[in-house]
Amino acid sequence: MKSVRVSIITLLSSAIVTKLYLIIRVLSLESDK
């Protein structure tokens, strides 16, 4: 069970990091205009 929990946490954290990266990228592109 612990391994499953760890994998779920890893997936969630990676998804959050990806969303933050996309948001920052969009904000930087908007500010460049």
pTM of the model: 0.63
Which residue do the tokens 């990266």 mark? 21
Q: Using pLDDT thresholds of 50, 70 and 90, give the confidence band for residue 1.
A: confident
Instruction: Pull the structure tokens for residue 13.
Output: 């954290």
Check residue 14 and report its DSSP letter: H
Q: Using pLDDT thresholds of 50, 70 and 90, give the confidence band for residue 28.
A: very high
Q: Using pLDDT thresholds of 50, 70 and 90, give the confidence band for residue 7.
A: very high
Q: What is the mean pLDDT of the chain?
A: 94
The whole-number average pLDDT for the span 19-27 is 97
